[in-house]
Amino acid sequence: MSQHKCKGCDEYRHLSRRQFVGLSAGLVVAAAAPSWVPRVAYAQSESSERDVMVSVFLRGGLDSLSMCVPFNEPDYYALRPTIAVPPPDSGQANRALDLDGTFGIAPTLEPLMEPFQDGELLVVHACGLPESSRSHFDAMYFMEVGEATPSPSNFTGWLGRHLQSTAPTMRDGVLRAVGIGYGLQRTLVGAPKALPISDLASFGFTGSGATKKQRKAVLEEIYTYANEPLRTSASDTFRTVDTLKRIGFSGYKPKGGARYPDSEFGYAMRSTAALIKGDVGVEAVAVDIGGWDTHDFQGNLDGSMMYLLQELAESLGAFYRDLKASNVRNVVTVAMSEFGRNVFENGSQGTDHGYGGLMLAMGASINGGQVLTEWPGLEPSQLFEEQDLQITIDYRDILTEILTRRMGNADYRTVFNDKSYSPKTLGAVI
Amino acid sequence: MARARTPARGFFGSERRAFPIRRLRALPGRRLVPAWFIEEQRKTVHRAHRLVRKALKPASNKITPEQRLVQRATAGLTLAEMAEVSELGYKRFLSRQLDPETIDDGGFEDALQEALPTLAMTPYELFTSGDGFRGFIELVVARILRSAYSPRQLFERMVEFWTDHFSIDILANHGYLLKPTDEREVVRPHALGRFHDLLSASAHSPAMLEYLTNDSNVRGHPNENYARELMELHTMGVDNGYTQEDVREVARCFTGWRFFGVYNELPTLGTFKFERAFHDQRSKRVLGRKIPSGRGEEDGLDVIAMLAERSETADFIAYKMLRFFQGYEPDKRSVKRVAAKFRNTGGNIRSTMKTVLSKSMMKKAEPKLKRPQHLVASALRATSADANNLGFVFEALEASGHLPYAWSSPDGYPDSDIYWSGYVLPRWNFAADMPDPGESGINIAPDLLDDSLSPSRFVRRLDLRMFNGTMTDETRVGVEEFLKAGKINTKRLREAVGLALAAPEFQTY
């Protein structure tokens, strides 16, 4: 902390002195952590060994039964007379692609077959957060915080708390996490050095190019005297602008013939690949794809949902190919949604809010090529509240395994502190 | 099916919209705030400028309790308020701001209502107008204009405070039809009134009932959503003197508190109704008190009265008010004092605010980081800007994560510097672009573009006009160096104003 003396500065420094003396900049955010987050001594970083986490949130409530079809279940076809995806051996154009003789994925998910067959894509079925909610907002909140009915004072996200409790992989890295979008995803709230960035390619100073350098220099100078947390945030911002500029997003060329779809999500995944390959110390990226609230006409070949699945699969498939061809193997991508949907279709050929859902995990460290599930069945007596797929796998089990085995987390309780939760090892990670 | 979770399901399919930012961008360049009103405000500031220039000793850049009061009671100080507080004195300035009806607003609100006719519309009128979204658009526009231009500044700050306290996501479900009425009939009439009345109005507000899904809270199938937030967020505070069982019982008290749905297309659309048929009439026990059986709406009314009187509620509201107006970590003694005032006056918000903003409290005030909406309003105020095209403003708010009424969870936008400090770049970019009408469509006052001044005198003017003489030496030197580094013209002066707006002491307050 500068002890530079000037009129008027005292005022603005007061806060810094009181709160932050003796704390390193990296701990600034941690200082605001809820008191129940145990203070963990930073382990010595073994950076390159750790996986980078890309957390994709499918907002709106993914219909897991259309994405990954239990094609041997007569109940599935009975409950969904118009929207069921036909079995792989049906000969129909929209038949499911067989994964393991029991489950098949919707045909528009074809680009995901490559990582699945490579053994690097895991489908976790009948999965979710037990005792969650049917309200989008609550269920997203709970899932991103990582706790059923969390208190409002617990507003940090599971990934945010993970980063808070582990040492950075790059000692002088400026950016540990990025939330692509406006406003940081709840998943990342609490993470040190995390920024919401809507477009990585255009993260920079606006205004006249002729004076940009001069203006930037003035701000850089005056912000060295600002109080915390502004001072650290400002210096991180300057470094981030420079860092991201060096990556050169707009000229980025994917490898392996990967073709990202020309959509917001495709663009976000493309930028994420560039960011990770830029090797600037980013450990986590949160990306959203919305539109899963398929109350009507979701379809089984050309309905709204099938196009969305296609966009998802093409983006994730391109991301997989791009990284594999670039020999970047330390990336794990997870995709989840706030809840699944009713097992039966509604009156408008859609589905309403349900319970058990589905999660994807993809990466070289993932024990993929299988559908991981303790299948609860679809008979009336097997359903949750007589209308939904049960949750037999807590999504936190998958995350715990990844965080502790692949991301240097020493104690899952720094992330999932729900007293009623104790993790089960399901072998999601190799 | 065993349970129809919500009888109104289908009518109220839960969904969240995208913020209609494109429509805000495309707002026609019509005048929202009349030119004569801007002119009047500029004149007042100029008069104050002459006074302050003489009165202010050059080296007195310490923040006085008076300046602190102005900073905290407004959305950004202008010299007009500084002159007023020195003329009236601390107490009378505060009393006046706490009595907004007596403040002549120079025709502002009338002009606003004329420019934005949906502000006065009912949900039914919005629904049948053929463009329900217009109500939303005009409400968010009004939020910015009111905080920037209304002379009833403290009142608008209170509206901001309660909007977050009773947060409703306007993007969820039919918020766009219902929230404008909630603002007009719940938040604004009671913002400085009795807490009990505010709470009761909020509990009867269709916007709140829909947002917290109380329309599906019915006999036999209680939905605890509203009950939980009522205790946790609106009154007692999380885990503070109540049990999970209390939440369940409170939920039963509010069964049948519903409203006329959106698709019945009757003039009652979006108005409250108590439906006895959906009310659980069995007896309940809330916070140790018995609620007798066989009653109706009285159950909920009793709960509201009970909660408004709890000492936990007084403590929680006192803490939040101090955090909002004084500093992020209010000390226990201050909280105790404010809570006592709240209790002793029967939850009189106006009286409580007198304590919150008292001189002794403001002496203890700590610097806070402006939230983006606050930053925008304060920048418009500090530069006496003529802002009619708000498309730019909403792009800036979108980039910095603070679009009005768009926080998705019921706890309201965070009141936290840690949270907001992550968005420095969009704040700087707003500061850089705002003074340039080519970028922003906003015109700052001509006296901030006076190219006849020397760099040091120009910076001195910025210091007086925008900071009441409390600019830091670093900023002063930085902006002056910037001016000296090139030819002085309007363009460079605009950029200098932009740097001042980006300075830490402008971003904080």
**DSSP letters for B64-75:** PHHHHHHHHHSS
Instruction: Supply the pLDDT for residue B446.
Output: 97
Which tokens sit at B335?
């909280």
Q: Comparing A358-372, B113-127, B254-268, which segment has the lowest mean pLDDT?
A: B254-268
Instruction: Supply the pLDDT for residue B29.
Output: 64
Yes or no, beta carbons of A233 and B59 under 8 Å apart? no
Could you tell me which residues are beta bridge partners of residue A357? A127
Quick one: CA torsion of B483, B485, B490, B493, rounded to 10 degrees?
Answer: -30
Residue B457's pLDDT band, with cuts at 50, 70 and 90, is very high
Length reported for chain B: 509
For helices B244-253 and B298-309, the axis angle rounded to 10 degrees is 140
Instruction: Supply the pLDDT for residue B114.
Output: 94
**Rounded CA gap, B96 and B98, in Å?**
5
Could you tell me if residue A31 is inside a domain? Answer: yes
B328 backbone dihedrals φ, ψ, rounded to 5°? -65, -25
Could you tell me if residue A429 is inside a domain? Answer: no
| Element holding B125 (H helix, E strand) | helix B123-128
Instruction: Supply the pLDDT for residue A45.
Output: 39
Mean pLDDT over residues B325-330, rounded?
96
Quick one: CA torsion of A181, A183, A188, A189, rounded to 10 degrees?
Answer: 180
Mean pLDDT over residues B122-150, rounded?
94
Instruction: Supply the pLDDT for residue B378.
Output: 98
Instruction: Supply the pLDDT for residue B478.
Output: 97
Number of structural domains, chain A? 1
Which tokens sit at A162?
């993970």
Quick one: CA torsion of A203, A174, A192, B371, rounded to 10 degrees?
Answer: -40
DSSP B422: G
> Does any CB of chain B come closer than 8 Å to the CB of residue A297?
no
**Rounded CA gap, A395 and B453, in Å?**
65
Neighbours of A411 (CB within 10 A): 12
B292–chain A nearest CA distance, Å? 30
Yes or no, beta carbons of B508 and A141 under 8 Å apart? no
Q: Name the average pLDDT for chain A.
A: 86
Q: Closest to B505 (Cβ–Cβ): which among A12, A218, A229?
A: A12
Mean pLDDT over residues B391-418, rounded?
89
Q: What is the pLDDT of residues B169-203, one digit of tens each?
A: 998 889 999 999 999 999 999 999 999 999 999 99
Interface with A, mutate which of B6, B392, B420, B421 (most A CBs under 10 A): B421
CA distances (Å), A427 to each of A396, A398, A399, A417, in order? Answer: 13, 8, 11, 22
Preceding peptide of A229 cis, ω within 30°: yes
Mean pLDDT over residues B130-152, rounded?
94
CA distances (Å), A340 to each of A65, A395, B7, B221, B321, in order? Answer: 8, 13, 21, 22, 40
The pLDDT of residue A132 is above 60: yes
Q: Comparing A291-295, B206-210, B240-244, B396-400, which segment has the lowest mean pLDDT?
A: A291-295
Q: Comparing A2-6, A276-280, A390-394, B94-98, which segment has the lowest mean pLDDT?
A: A2-6
Instruction: Supply the pLDDT for residue B15.
Output: 60
Interface with A, mutate which of B397, B474, B477, B494 (most A CBs under 10 A): B474
Instruction: Supply the pLDDT for residue A29.
Output: 35
Q: Which residue of B has its CA nearest to A138?
A: B409
Q: Which of B216, B243, B218, B215 is nearest to B228 (CA)?
A: B243
Yes or no, beta carbons of B504 and A137 under 8 Å apart? no
Q: How many CA atoms lie within 13 A of A173 on its CB side?
A: 22
Q: Name the average pLDDT for chain B.
A: 92
* Per-residue H/E/C for B397-421: HHHCCCCCCCCCCCCCCCCCHHHHH
Q: Residues B243, B257: contact at Cβ < 8 Å? A: no
Could you tell me if residue A249 is inside a domain? Answer: yes
DSSP A83: T
Q: B238 or B369, which is more confident? A: B369
SS3 assignment, position B390: coil
Boundaries of domain holding A312:
9-414
Instruction: Supply the pLDDT for residue A298.
Output: 83
Contacts of A11 in chain B (CB under 8 A): 62-63, 367, 470, 505
CA distances (Å), B31 to each of B100, B115, B421, in order? Answer: 25, 8, 33
Could you tell me if residue A38 is inside a domain? Answer: yes
Q: Comparing A130-139, B256-265, B334-343, which segment has the lowest mean pLDDT?
A: A130-139
Contacts of A28 in chain B (CB under 8 A): 418
Q: What is the pLDDT of residues A77-99, one digit of tens each?
A: 999 999 999 999 999 999 999 99
Yes or no, beta carbons of B470 and A11 under 8 Å apart? yes
Instruction: Supply the pLDDT for residue B61.
Output: 62
Instruction: Supply the pLDDT for residue B263.
Output: 75
Contacts of B471 in chain A (CB under 8 A): 8
């996501």: which residue's tokens? Answer: B169
Q: Residues B244, B286: contact at Cβ < 8 Å? A: no
Beta strands A121-128 and A370-372 are: parallel
Could you tell me if residue A421 is inside a domain? Answer: no
**Rounded CA gap, B203 and B182, in Å?**
11
Q: Closest to B504 (Cβ–Cβ): which among A230, A241, A353?
A: A230
Residue B398's pLDDT band, with cuts at 50, 70 and 90, is confident
- Between residues 187 and 226 of chain B, which touch chain A (CB distance below 8 Å)? 213, 225
Check the CA dihedral B241-B245-B251-B252 and report its sign. Answer: negative
Q: Closest to A293 (Cβ–Cβ): which among B15, B239, B419?
A: B15
Instruction: Supply the pLDDT for residue B224.
Output: 85
**Rounded CA gap, A142 and A149, in Å?**
6
- Between residues 471 and 500 of chain B, which touch chain A (CB distance below 8 Å)? 471-475, 478-479, 481-482, 485-486, 491-492, 495, 498-499
The pLDDT of residue A235 is above 80: yes
Mean pLDDT over residues A283-308, rounded?
87
**Rounded CA gap, A56 and A387, in Å?**
27
Residue B311's pLDDT band, with cuts at 50, 70 and 90, is very high
Q: Residues A16, A231: contact at Cβ < 8 Å? A: yes
The pLDDT of residue A2 is above 60: no
| Element holding A103 (H helix, E strand) | strand A103-105
- What ipTM was reported for this prediction? 0.91
The CATH number of residue A106's host domain is 3.40.720
First-to-last alpha carbon distance for chain B, in angstroms, is 56
CA angle B34, B39, B41 (to 5 degrees): 100
Instruction: Supply the pLDDT for residue A48.
Output: 57
**Rounded CA gap, A127 and B211, in Å?**
27
Q: Closest to A226 (Cβ–Cβ): which among B14, B491, B504?
A: B504
**Rounded CA gap, A303 and B464, in Å?**
62
Q: Comparing A3-7, B113-117, B413-417, which segment has the lowest mean pLDDT?
A: A3-7
Over its C-alpha atoms, chain B yields an Rg (Å, rounded) of 24
Mean pLDDT over residues B129-141, rounded?
91
SS3 assignment, position B30: coil
Residue A293's pLDDT band, with cuts at 50, 70 and 90, is confident
B130–chain A nearest CA distance, Å? 24
The pLDDT of residue A11 is above 80: no
Could you tell me which residues are beta bridge partners of residue A59? A290
**Rounded CA gap, A159 and B485, in Å?**
45
> Does any CB of chain A come closer than 8 Å to the CB of residue B433?
yes
Q: For B42, left (φ over 0), alpha (ψ -120 to 50), or beta? A: alpha
Could you tell me if residue A419 is inside a domain? Answer: no
Q: Which residue of A has its CA nearest to B496?
A: A215
Q: What is the pLDDT of residues B283-308, one digit of tens each?
A: 999 999 999 999 999 999 999 999 99
CA distances (Å), B398 to each of B24, B225, B430, in order? Answer: 11, 28, 11
Instruction: Supply the pLDDT for residue A155.
Output: 77
SS3 assignment, position A403: helix
């040091």: which residue's tokens? Answer: B456
**DSSP letters for A273-336:** HHHHHTTSS--EEEEEEE-----S---SSSSHHHHHHHHHHHHHHHHHHHHHHTT---EEEEEE
Interface with A, mutate which of B169, B472, B481 (most A CBs under 10 A): B472
Q: Which of A391, A385, A347 is nearest to A124 (CA)?
A: A391
**A/B interface, count of CB pairs below 8 Å:** 167
**Rounded CA gap, B257 and B324, in Å?**
31
Yes or no, beta carbons of B416 and A32 under 8 Å apart? yes
